Structure 1
Amino acid sequence: MADSLFNLGIHYQDTQVYQPSLVLFERSQKLYRQIGDWKKVGDCFNCKAITYYYISDFSKAVVAFEDGAEIFKKIHYKKGVASTLNNVGNIYNSQGNYAKALAYFQQATLIFKEIGDIENWAAATNNVGLIYGKVKDYSNAMKYFTQAYAVFKKENKQERIAQTQDAIGNIYVKLGKYDKAFQSFNESLQIADRRQDKQLQIMALNSLGDLFNEQSAYARALPYYTRCLTYANQIGSLHSQAEAQIAIGTIMYRLGKSKDAVKKCRNGLQLAEKVGSVSMKKRGCDCLYQSYKAFGNTGQALYYFEQANTLEDSLNLSETANRVMNIEFQKQQLVDSIAYVQKEHIIQLKHKEEVERQEKQRNMSILSLGFILLVAVGLWAQLNYVKKSRAALKVEKDRSEALLLNILPEEIAEELKEKGHVDARVFNLVSILFTDFKSFTQTAEQMSPQSLVEEIHTCFKAFDLIVEKYQIEKIKTIGDAFMAVGGLSYTDDRSLKNIVLAGLEMQEFMVKRAVEKRVEGYPAFEMRLGIHTGPIVAGIVGVKKFQYDVWGDTVNTASRMESSGMVGKVNISETLYEFIKQEECFSFEYRGQVHAKGKGKMGMYFVKKSNVVQLVA
């Protein structure tokens, strides 16, 4: 029964019918657990993860791959471990974390080679080539693609040949060798058509459309995108549908068919919003702006122009994160070269020392007496200096470590001291808190500069104590705004619950403070506060006055939660609500779909304490 369900799930996955395949893998996995077939349990995790990857649910894919890897390690199944490493590398590649992706792919190639699995070794080698292509090292990329292609050709693995030819074609496009790119893409499409594999067909057709679009041959690009859209509709791939719709709409605009362009790009933008792709939404808004502008609808053109600018900000944040991770990749690539140079330098030094040794021996007897005297004087002076400075050095060391811990989370500070740098990290689930004082400028005008600074210091000092109490990390203050993150040092339900408790306590402090100030006859600040949860990238940027910071669309959304909130309230996103709605210590007030700048309508909730709670340890 378990085998039948599993094989049927594979069939649905191969034919791109993804939701039923997930159900079948889940049912077969339960049966395999009952009979103790742990290899098959791991296979089910792997298959579920691959399906999540195909439908772009990357966070669930990573979790499923990690669960499968644990099973394979326990039963010492090396091929399963290597496959999982390769697949996790694909996830990091799709997220733009090339340094981590390369590390996972290289580990996979070593294990596949060790166990003699040549086909999968070639697949992982092909993935290594993809990473080199992403960082524009085209010669290395082509070297790895060629190695993989030779294996696939020898083994007559048609699907793998198609994928590798598509990758080679993309390198030729980057190098401006369009004829060779067309040959590679066309071979990939012929294989896809013979196999009637919709995923391969979509890949090849999209690449051919991009090739002619790159050359401004819009009439030649259009049929490829149109056919790509047909196959995407057949298998229900929202990501591919959105890409094709926006590509067709953009070509319609360039061909002077602005009304047709509006229809296609609007459809593509709606799909991109469902998928959550910021870059696709940006392309859709650009297309609608140009198309509406072309036939004189300035109102709609202005609206989509503003939307495109907002999305551009999000893309710039992502690009910043990618540059940080790309720096880490380049550093990793230099390691081997640096090690080689160091080795050569050591050899040269040894040779030089051997040549100079005999000459030094001649002079040694002459210098011995003076050297001994000099060393004695130096040792006495050094001992005296050490005794005087040891205490001072300890004080300075303690002061430096305290300052570092005041700037960075403890785990990050330890990594910085140990390695001299900090690797950028992806966190799949953290919570972001933003605060902002309402009517800050008007209230500040009623206060002297000294009293203004003292009042802000009093508020932010209280916030610092609150975030320390609830084990969340303060990131920065910008003017009258305060930002903190939960889930960096530990990620579970405690971090989500604690950041909401912290937000409620901050609002309690501000309300009480406002009452006290007004009784005394002084102006007082009122505060909005918003929280959202999701994935981010975190790392250190800068050399002088460096800063630990976080990036990602989650940060933008959390900021919108704050600006869409109300004074004295804690406003949370519907995403965070789904995680904490079972917590008995909170009560919630649904606000409905509230418009958020740059995000459209979003579900929001006000949260408050339902009874007295204890700090979650």
Structure 2
Amino acid sequence: MKNKFTTLAIISVFFLGNTIFKAQDSKEILELKGKLASAKNDKEKHRKILLIIDEYGKQGKLDSMLVYNNEAILNAKKMNDKEEMGRLYLFLSQIYLQKADIVNYEKHVNEAENLLSDSKNYNNIGFLNFSIAGLNAIKKNHAKATTYYKKNIQLFEEGKKIDRKYIMLGYQGLFASNIIQSNFTDGYIASNKYIDFVKKYEPDQLPTAFMLLGSFYSSAKDYSKAINAYTNSIAHSKNEQFSYLNKAFLGLCYSEIKQLDSAKLYTNQAYEYFKNGNNAIALGSIYYSYATIYKQENKLELAEEYMKKALAIAPEKDIANSKLSYQSKLNEIILEQLSQNYNGNETERKAKLESLLQNLKEISEKIRKTDTFLSQELEITNYENLSKVYEILGNYEQALVYHKKYIEKKEKTYGLDKMKEFSKAQSNYELNEQKALIKLQEETKRIQLQKEIELKALRFEFEKKQAAAKTAEERERLLLEEDAKRKEIELTYTYQRKAAEQKYIQERKFAKTVQEKRDAVAKAELENSKTQKNMWAIGAGLSILLLGFAGYSYNQKRKDNKKIAEEKQKSDDLLLNILPYEVAEELKEKGKTSAKHFDEVSVLFTDFVNFTANSERIGVQEVLNELNICFTEFDRIMDKYGLEKIKTIGDAYLAVSGLPVSNDLHAKNAVNAGLEILSYIQQRKKDNPNALDIRIGIHSGPVIAGIVGVKKFAYDIWGDTVNTAARMEQNSSSGRVNISEATYQLIKDDFTFEHRGRIETKGKGAMDMYFVNQL
């Protein structure tokens, strides 16, 4: 699926990014045209034309933009304004770029370069540098593109007066250019520098920065980090449409890691938002996500239907070759259908395979001739599909040819050396970040020691003053004064202690990250060693050739493989009922799993009120039936909000939000799940006189999570956070969600609350608690 995310990265930089060239506010076009007709001079006329261009841009009317942009150029020429002419030619080039007209794009960039070659206006220079870089990236002259993207960054570092939007575009361009080439290391470095720049200078642009980071991690197939980046983009975004676009991308990520409930949740939300609009980028991604989900579920007819929908709305030609990406995915689905037990006759099947083969050849030719951006993954997938089709048709010689091309291209794109370099870059970046944190921790210790010295000095000072005091009133005043100063010092010390604890958590997280990187490199070395690669390629080639002499054996093997695959799927499904996807995959791969530390999660406890008394009143079997009905609905609610069910303990239900994949919205999701449980129970009580009352507690903090024992696997969580969540539930009331101060701080802007004050708890002392009001 990397080809899809590469497409998104390109569109993000060259289409979404270009909106920053437009003015923020303008009036309706008809009103503007009326004002244009009454313009008193050329300068006023020029301003009105630019506003009309801007308004057409907001409506996506590229042809109308062209008409008025050309009129603006003529007007600038009439005013003999060389700088404005150059700037307008750059605007014109961007319009042609969005129309995927590369010939005119190049023509107008060159015209602008001639006019602005001696410009002293750094904003015009920045616009020109970005345009020249984009032109060279399209022409696959990536070294020159990189040089021009970096020129804007260099101008800023030299202190030149240049709009920071051109610096952001420089970083975005470096990022996109490296993704296109599958240069993960340079792309990673560019994306982190970009985010650091945005955090410091343009925090309002963080949603775009995190979205691009998500597309980078998706391209590198690190979907857990991609999910975190897209979630961060949503958390920082104030634009509803942008948030739902990120949800469409989240659906794609979750479908790739086979968390299909989450994939459907986000994809459905995005579809409901975009279904009545004309945003082809978003709808195409949503249909692609549905197709991926249905393919995973082996509902191939539905998958094919949604890919055809995506193809139908894709532009005939665009800069990111969306149509090729969609056609490639459709071919993959059709090939899957023809590879399985086919319902039609063999002649019909062969005809469809021949048609598919022709389509794949046409894609190969388009890939060879394309003059715009192209994902390398698209070429890899096409080679793989060609090999498979030739194999099914019995042309084993051609199957081997394309199989070799597939292996060579994949090795070149995702080879061991490239991935080791990427892993090293990640570790180095994180190491530099951690050095700063450790330095801060040392400073915290120094300040803490200083505070202790101050406390001792304070005591000594007031002991002397007390000894010198002559009246009881004076001694009382000194005691109050000492107490106030001591509290001030203690408050500062408490703040520093909490800061040190936070740095310790981050240090633990860093150590875990470094170890994961080492494990990933070790795994890559094992899987990609030259001997293994060569033996596998030779073995695959011989297998293909031998198929020509073993028709019956081949068919029998396919049947056996299908049966084995079905049994394996049953086994996998059973395992996923017990363990999270990531843990199950680790268990299948290594035969064991290790417990992991999670810095921030939210733990949810529910408990039915007066359960024992109700059992005696209405009978044990009736109560157990009610428990089963309720817990089944709770499971559905957990899936809806992305919580991981841990276990049931009698009539209690334990779940956690924010693992095994980190999620910045863990507290909000947990509270939403709790509120929906309350709504369900309220409705249940209306429908069933024997329904049970419930109370819920939630607390947020760090936990350890992993498998207990080696038989009858049980995924569990441990830590003080779990105990505190249990205390929240025990101190809750029937029909209420009770949360801790830690959870409240994470969601205080998202809900309304009833502060309960400090309540004494078993083993924890007095704690602040809040009831969350139902929506």
TM-score (norm 2): 0.38
Structure with higher Rg: it is: 2
- TM-score w.r.t. length of structure 1: 0.46
Larger relative contact order (Cα-Cα within 8 Å, sequence gap ≥ 6)? 2
